[in-house]
Structure 1
Amino acid sequence: MELAERMGELTQLRSMLSTCLAGEGGVALVTGAVACGKTSLMHVFARDVKESGALFLHASASRAEQLLPLGVVGQLLHSAPLSASQSQRSTRLIAECVTERPGQGTETLEQQHARVIHEFCTLLLDLTAQGPLVVGIDDVQYADRLSLQFLSSLTRRLAAKPILLVLNEWAVLEPALDSFRAELLSHSHCRRIRLGPLSPAGVAELLADHADTWPSSPPHTACAAISGGNPLLIRALLEDHARVAGRISAKAPAGPVVADAFREAVLVCVHRCGPDVLEGAQGLAVLGDAGTPALLARLLDIEPPQADHVVEVLTMAGLLADGHFRHPAARAAVLDNIAGKDRTRLHRRAAELLYQEGAQATTVAAHLITCNQTDAPWTVPVLREAAEQALLEDQVEQAVKLLKLAQRNCADPRLRAAVTTLLAEVEWRLNPSAAARLLPELITAVRNGLMAADVTAPVGLLLWNGELAHASDALNQLYATVDRSDSQAVTDLHVLRLWAGCSYPELLRRAPEPSGFPHPDDSLSEAATTDMRLRALTAFTTVLRQDNPAEAVTAAEQVLQSCHLGHAVMDPVIPALLALTYADRLDKAAPWCDALLAEARSRHAPAWRAMLAVVRAEIALRQGDPEAAERHARSALGAISDRSWGVGLGAPLGILLQAMTSLGRHAEAEELTRAAPPEVFQTRWGMLYLYARGRYHLAVNRLQAGLSDLTTCGELLAAWDMDLPGFVPWRADAARIQLRLGNVRQARRLAEEQLTRPLTRGSRSHGIALRTLAACSELKQRPHLLRKAAEELQEQGDRLELAETLTDLSEAHYALGESDRARMMARRAWHVATECRTDALRDRLSVCLAEEDTEPLIDTAGVTALSDAERRVATLAAKGHTNREIARKLYITVSTVEQHLTRAYRKLDVRSRVDLPVWLQPSGAATT
């Protein structure tokens, strides 16, 4: 359809043509936004005029010829059927106007110009002798001054003449047009026709002509929303869609495609509206969502009514809705079209205005980032506030940009130190090695006493990067300069000491707390309940220092329920997780760690993802799942570089080394034994690595090397007051080495020492120690000790240690000549070892299982007497699951599990879960 939704306007023009044909003149002033269809309407109407027999003269004004005197009149007469004398007369009259001065007023004309215009009117009126005359002029707003005066003069003369003037104008800022328009509209024979944007129905009408581009029902509603009903923009959307659909072999995209043609059409619209509207569009594009006519006026230094008119024109053109660009691509097209210097100037001015208006820091900062200038004093605090808001929304890269810009031009030393500290912490979240480049500046800031806030962050970063000497110097400097009445600063220092005591004990020896420094008991009681870092580190310290673990577990869970991952090195989440892990509450630690890992992935926090993966690997190791431990450890090492790990590298390396050893992959483990840098061994993570290396040496029979690593590990832990078997049960492995060396007495002493350590009874480390003690005991005593060890290990969920213990128990029974019990224990050990995928254990068990018969040790009558619930619980228990795991799998309480097991023991005539047969589960039953 050539004229979508314009038939009403065409009907009005046809009515005026009929009046003209009847001998009465008139004027039609067709007003509309740029590219709204005025020219198309003129073309269709011109055909009607020619079919009616009337003469049609056409001219088109342009900005380029606006200073050419009588340029529009010349076009009209050039196309008119003039006689030779009339043509010569026309040429002479135009030549007389070459002296037209552009700056001359529009209300008064020189006498010669008035005469020339009168003669031109006479020439045109003479043409009516040949029949009715229709004069069509496009873009009359760009007509030169004398041509406008000619049209005004002609309008005054055509009431009784068969002449129809059809003038198309844009709704643009042309002050010179105001008096001309006012005079036209004052005549009774002048009619104004307004062309508005197409409605959704009109858009659908236009799209119907392009069914080949959108074969399915065209999305006219979406096109109307994007284009504002502007036909030029709609056709551009069609072009973009056709171009993209032609490149895609599959079915064409269902919705509108906004691409190059649309962006070009947007630029055509704003440029054709004139320089004032173009500048206004650029201003609105720079202001974005914050743009208002009042702010636009201030940005461009124009009068408010002019700004209102700019918004009105762009709205009529379909580019704006409610004062803002309808589509991001339209705004981007205008923004990209602004010259570099002008764009910088506009963004800088926009930042100033928005700051004065009290706009949000993120809005102001976006302009500062674009103009890349922060020399005004107010800009640095704004950028810092915007960065903190970006961090809350997990826009970490944006926060880094904002902080780097703030740091670059910050003149205030204290403010720069605060910005640099925050930048280092944020970069640490993304890439700890990138944060290390800021350490020299942070060290200087601490030495100069410039750390008014975040006093401990530089020390934490120094420690993470193994700079123990610099960290101790910085801590001593903080003690000397910090305001002791500042409760937050004192709390931060206490948090730092707790964290260092857990992870970098050497720091406290090098930088002891000065006498008279406020103590937590008398100055931090409130902080102890509100500061999550303090609560988490207190819980972690409690577990490592062998105090009350129940309170620590409760505190750790409260922290995890209250916190999300932050961006600081000393975040409360990790110590809270480790408190649960080292307190043997793996049933609580594992789900929390999994949830936090998912959060770290979704929030693009590589450093946190790496550290959480390490914690998860350690949990898997303690659950007796070396394959999962390997997977998580490798994930941790892949998340960030070895350099980014700093001294924390000892943790993933140690856990991976221990997993490889348990899986019997000794060649891979050997490569890891030389991977840790020396600085690691002054940290908690270094102890994990030393312990793992000692276990590896034991596995490959390098007994002296293993004993050296384990003994060194124990000595350091004792010196740091961290010698807790729940953390590193080094004595059990050292005892096994002593046994292989023939030192039974030393082996027994080490095993008994581990059994008597605080918080050991009823724990995973207690079960490990009982197994070790059994190896040091006489053969007759071993089954009893190993049964107790198996009970505790199964209850704590360490399946690998359980499989080892059951294997030892099977071998003890075999040595005592109890072949039936030996085979039953071997079957159980084989089942658990298969789940753990430990080939070395299965090789040990193959001797006993080679002679296995099919007769059960337990009377089948007892098995058939079990209820379905008792059988399900007993089956899971026989497979090595803890009571908590069974409760979770079967959706029952732990108490119910214990009751079912008690009845199952009685019916099967066994003393404990260690004696349960692995073939309890009926064929095809689902228990997991």
Structure 2
Amino acid sequence: MVVERREEQGLLRAAFADCVAGKGRLVLISGGMACGKTALLHSFGEHAAGRGALLLSASGARDERELRMGVMWQLFRSAALAPEVLQRVHRLVDAAPSPGDDHDAEPAPMRPVDARAVHGLCAVLLDLAKDRPVVLAIDDLQFVDAATLQVLLYMRRRMRTERVMLLLTEWYRPSMARPFLRAEVTRQPDQRISLDLLSENGVRELATEGLDAGRAARLAAGLHETSGGNPALARALVEDCDRLDPQARRPVIGGAFRQTVLDCLHRWDSSFLRVAGGLAVLGAHVGTELLAELLRLRPQQVNQVLDVLSAAGIADGQRLRNDEIAATVLGSLPPDEAAALHVGAAELLDKYGIDPAAAAAHLVAADAVPGPWAVRALRHAAAQAVADDPAFAVKCLELAIKTTGDEADRATLRAALVRVAWRVNPSIAVRHLAPLHEALDAGRLGWRDAVAVIRHSLWQGDLDAAITRLSAMAASAGPLDARTTAELRLTCEWVYGSLRERLPDDVYPLLTSTDRAPSANPWVQTARLNAAWSRGAGREVVNCAEHILQGCVGDVPAEVGMTALLALEHTDRQERALYWSGALAEEAEGRQATTWQALLGCVCADLAYRRGDLVTAHARATAALAMLPTQSWGVLIGYPLSILVLVDTAMGKLDEAAKLLDRPVPEAMFDTAFGPRYLHARGHHNLAAGRTLAALEDFERSAAWARTHGLDVPATVPWRGDIAQTLLRLGRQKEAKVLVTAQLAKGEASGGLRNRGTAMRVLAACSEPKERVGLLRDSAHHLERCGDRLELAKTLADLGQVHQELGQLASARLVLRKAEQLGKACQADVLAVEEIRIPVHRVPREATPDEPPSGGIAALSEAERKVAELAAYGYANREIGRKLYITVSTVEQHLTRVYKKLNVMRRTDLLSELSRYDAVGVDLVPDDTHMAVSRRSTPG
């Protein structure tokens, strides 16, 4: 299919008409590489052959340029000619000796035998033209051998009044002189046709060859932009789109496109691929002079090749058209050649002071340091890239370390690399730590470098190593400045909780020196953040947290930023916590700070869970966990795992939570602040799975750690409420009430509105019926203010149950429906899963004349009768709970008492007992409950 060439086809057909009329014509088609010359040639050849012309076609090739008469032989062998004609041609070709010179050179005068051969071959062609028009179609004239060019030149001089059409194609190569023979053949053609690149409409038309019309129209703009309008590249793109992704909204680049790019560059000579490689390496810094110096070519040569590449749509001025073409070109170069180009580019950029960072990028790509200047460039580029591209900074420093001989310089570079590695992947630093430990122990590191080494020990749960090195630094490097003190202290407290119980007497004063300093310095106040948080000093916490977060991702350790975010959340500044978490997540992504992104993902998941947004919490925690390898997480892996376990448990995905709990975790994690978090999550999973004693063990271990290590802050792990819930399951109501009352007595330090609301729900379960409604309403009020929909749904479920037990059925329906709606919004079934079992207290009611005799069924309460009837008629416990607006656990309790009072063993025994109530007309399901229970007659 020839696209967008109607005018050119018309010109060819007009020239053919002249040929048929006895006017020989020479038509020259020129255009950029792969711009459709061959397609147009073939299309016209079919047209001419269809109208009775003798079509003789041939194509030049670079590796056949020295093959004497090679193209002439192609012409005569391309059609079914008479044997005697071929024999005549054979004799003439064999008789013509090679000119002996390069086909592009100006030939010496032909000897008589040469002239006879050329004359004879032209005579054969003219004889053939007597019977019918002859079309000689030769593609890629620039590769035709010299002997064939001599015949064509001779033929041109004698075809003016013959029915011969000479149709030639050649590549467009502006500003480059043609060799003598080719120039003579193509001089002043009867018709010159120049093919341009396709327009967007032309590309859309071409795309319909492989795609449906609608998709071709949608992709046309992208196809044109990527291919530059080059028909061959556009066809290859269409093939990739159809094969790789039929639903893609943008062009898909695959093997067909890349191979076509390379085919275009390989078809002429090696200079084209060399220049394209130089363009790919230099990228935005390319210029004719710089490119010529890199490739050791003359600027004129470079410009000539650039003209051809632009005409083909592969280049756009002095740049390759797109990054995919550049990557394809670089990928095709031998590794040694590509490395040499990168080193050469780095040297030029450094020599002219153009872009030191780009020079370093070339050195990293080449994995080479050709001289001392290269180490300086790498260090400078690493310092610049730390904030926005830490991964590149790590590569620069690793290359510099590998080639630096001075041990002091290597230690400095290693320390810089460890600091940067924390932003990308802490495990990168592992292989550099041993030499840094030696340097630290020898007193060769300052505090800034030492903190990065100590931080790694903290993350891996090696507190003893961290303490040893802190002691060594205190002896050799002296006191810390306020900022380093604040950052190191908050990092220690993030991992280990309170320092007083963990640090020896010679180290503890080092990190708490700011406690005795004037508070004018904001970092002095910041160092006291955890202390203020634990005692409930809300305004002080907010000031410290805001100070940290205002300049966070670039300079502050991630642990410090996370502490500030959670401090805002747990002191009921939820809106500020949400604002900062979103702002920091965006900044961390833009700066490629992977460690920041991972920890922020955990905090964002934590915040989402605390608002009942379980879907978001699960997605954020899962993504965060995948950002760093397990080794890099160290003991901090307990954070994302605990969130995921809590979320899966709340959503009823107990099997998924169990798989998470089966993942191995460092034993040292249980001696850090993440151990209680993990035990808290595992305990709630055990509670939901019915393993009450296992849950109690987890909660008690969490409580023991919190009390021992000074982290008895309900905001972090509300162990008292956890244990109280478990004790309620075991029927130990008084002990549960003592614990939850103690938690509420902590006031502001009890963990904010959310923890107070949750604790009040537990307290209600421990209280007398007349007190529950007020406590649950207070709980709902707190939970509404903090925005936790999941805990609010649980509270409303309990409140609805209380209303139902008190006979306030209208209120029960209203509250339970709200609870169910909230639960569904969180994707948690709060009516089916009851963590707190509220004991049922009922007021005995006096018998009425309408009741059956006392004992047996007469001993059932109204609620028990409703449950019994629905169970007798085949409803499952979950269905009964939904119909009566009570939890599954409450249904089970009612059925247990029903079986005991009626002395039956199974549900099927209930029907015969209940049939007696039908006989006396007792309505077991009052109308105001709106239950759709059908009245069935008793069999027999």
Could you tell me the TM-score, scaled by structure 2's length? Answer: 0.64
- Given that 1:610 and 1:637 are in contact with CA atoms closer than 8 Å, whether structure 2 keeps it comes out as yes
Shift in Å at residue 605 of structure 1? 7.5
> In 2, Cα distance between the equivalents of 1:346 and 1:55?
51
- Aligned residue identity for 1:585: D
Distance of 2:698 and 2:3 partners within structure 1: 92
Name the counterpart of 1:868: none
Which residue number in structure 2 is paired with residue 585 of structure 1?
572
Report the CA distance shift for 1:573/1:853 in structure 2 as closer, same or farther (over 3 A): farther
1:488-533 per-position Cα deviation (integer Å, ceiling 9, x unaligned)? x76324532454366542675365389999979989966x37xxxx
TM-fit CA distance, 1:314: 1.6
5 Å matches for 1:214-229?
214=213, 221-229=221-229
C-alpha distance in 1 between matches for 2:50 and 2:841? 110
2:105 corresponds in structure 1 to 106
* 2:143 match: 142
**Any residues of structure 2 matched to 1:439-450 within 5 Å, and which?**
439-448=433-442, 449-450=444-445
Q: Which residue of 2 aligns with 1:90?
A: 92
Q: Equivalents in 1 of 2:573, 2:666: separation in Å? A: 30
Shift of 1:463: 1.4
What's the secondary structure of 2:178's corresponding residue?
helix
Q: Which moved more, 1:704-713 or 1:310-319?
A: 704-713
Measured against aligned partners, the alpha-carbon deviations of 1:807-863 in whole angstroms (never above 9, x if no partner) come to: 999xxx9xxxxx999999999999999988798885443124887999xxxxxxxxx
Aligned partners of 1:202, 1:410: CA distance in 2, in Å?
A: 57
Q: Give the AA of the match of 1:439.
A: L
Q: What is the DSSP-based 3-state SS (H/G/I as helix, E as strand, rest coil) of the residue aligned with 2:30?
A: strand
Contact 1:31–1:170, Cα closer than 8 Å, also in 2: yes
Q: Contact between 2:126 and 2:162, CA under 8 Å: does it hold in 1? A: no
* Aligned equivalent of 1:61: 60
Instruction: Give the alignment partner of residue 267 of structure 1, picking from 243, 262, 266.
Output: 262
Matched, 1:500 2:482: no
Q: 2:31 corresponds to which residue? A: 32
Aligned to 2:840: 846
Q: Deviations over 1:550-609 (max 9, x none)?
A: 13223324544x356569755432121233355x32645764587479769978977657
CA distance in 2, matches of 1:656, 1:64: 65
- State the alpha-carbon separation in 2 of the partners of residues 256 and 657 from structure 1: 42
Distance between the aligned counterparts of 1:49 and 1:215, measured in 2?
Answer: 35
1:574 aligns with 2:577: no
Aligned to 1:888: none
Counterpart CA distance in 2 for 1:726 and 1:511 is 31
Deviation at 1:313? 1.0
The answer to whether the 8 Å contact 1:491/1:524 transfers is: no
- Look up the equivalent residue of 2:171 and give its one-letter code: W
Give the Cα–Cα distance (whole angstroms) in 2 for the partners of residues 241 and 666 of structure 1.
43
1:476–1:226 Cα change, 3 Å:
same
**Residue number in structure 2 paired with 1:550:** 539
Query: Which residues in structure 2 correspond to 1:369-518 (within 5 Å)?
Result: 369-374=364-369, 376-379=371-374, 404-405=398-399, 407-411=401-405, 413=407, 416-417=410-411, 420-421=414-415, 423-424=417-418, 428=422, 435-436=429-430, 438-448=432-442, 449-450=444-445, 453-479=448-474, 482=477, 491-500=483-492, 504=496, 505=499, 508-509=503-504, 511-512=506-507
Equivalents in 2 of 1:87, 1:711: separation in Å?
105
Question: SS in structure 1 opposite 2:839?
Answer: helix
Contact kept, 8 Å, 1:237 with 1:261, in 2: the verdict is yes
Identify the range of structure 1 (453-462 vs 161-170) with the bigger mean alpha-carbon deviation: 161-170
CA–CA distance in structure 1, aligned partners of residues 584 and 193 of structure 2: 65
Following TM superposition, by how much is the alpha carbon of 1:307 offset from its aligned partner in structure 2, in angstroms? 1.1
What CA deviation, in whole Å up to 9, does each residue of 1:325-368 have, x standing for no partner?
44555444434433333333333333444454556566555544
The Cα shift of 1:465 comes to: 1.4
Partner of 2:5: 5
Per the TM alignment, residue 5 of structure 1 is displaced from its structure 2 partner at its CA by 1.5
Structure 2 counterpart of 1:311: 306
Cα offset, 1:227, TM superposition: 3.5
Partner of residue 918, structure 1: none
- Distance of aligned partners of 1:547 and 1:385 in 2 relative to their CA distance in 1, 3 Å threshold: farther
**In 1, Cα distance between equivalents of 2:662 and 2:566:** 24
- Residue 294 of structure 1, CA deviation: 3.7
Task: Name the CA shift for 1:793/1:465 in 2 (closer, same or farther; >3 Å).
Answer: farther
Measure how far apart 1:14 and its partner are: 4.4
* Amino acid in the other structure paired with 2:542: V
> Cα deviation per residue 1:866-886 (whole Å; 9 max; x = unaligned)?
xxxxxxxxxxxxxxxxxxxxx
**What's the offset of the Cα at 1:270?**
1.8
Does structure 1 conserve the Cα–Cα contact (< 8 Å) formed by 2:106 and 2:181? no
TM-score, with normalisation over the residues of structure 1? 0.65
Q: Which moved more, 1:300-309 or 1:689-698?
A: 689-698
Partners of 2:675 and 2:750 lie apart in 1 by: 23
> In structure 2, how many angstroms separate the alpha carbons of the residues matched to 1:319 and 1:771?
70
Q: Give the secondary-structure state (helix, strand or coil) at the position aligned to 1:495.
A: helix
Aligned to 1:281: 276
Distance 1:165 1:655 in 2: 79
> Which piece of structure 1 moves more, 270-279 or 687-696?
687-696
Q: Is the 8 A contact 2:152 2:185 kept in 1?
A: no
Q: Which residue of 1 aligns with 2:171?
A: 170
- 636-645 vs 311-320, which moves further: 636-645
- Greater CA deviation, 506-515 or 437-446? 506-515
Distance 1:74 1:633 in 2: 72
**Structure 2 stretches of 5 or more lacking a match?**
824-829, 846-859, 863-928, 931-940
Report % sequence identity: 30
Aligned residues: 813
Tell me if 1:539 matches 2:534. Answer: no
Change (3 A) 1:409 1:764: same
Q: What is the alpha-carbon distance in structure 1 between the residues aligned to residue 609 and residue 163 of structure 2? A: 100
- Unaligned 5+ runs, structure 1: 814-818, 855-921, 924-928
- Give, in whole Å, the separation in 2 of the partners of 1:592 and 1:837: 33
Alignment partner, residue 866 of structure 2? none
The DSSP-based 3-state class of the residue aligned with 1:461 is: helix
In structure 2, give the amino acid aligned to 1:542.
A
Q: Which amino acid aligns with 1:142?
A: F
Compared with structure 1, are the counterparts of its residues 366 and 636 closer, same or farther at alpha carbon in structure 2 (3 Å cutoff)?
A: closer
Counterpart Cα distance in 2 of 1:840 and 1:595: 34
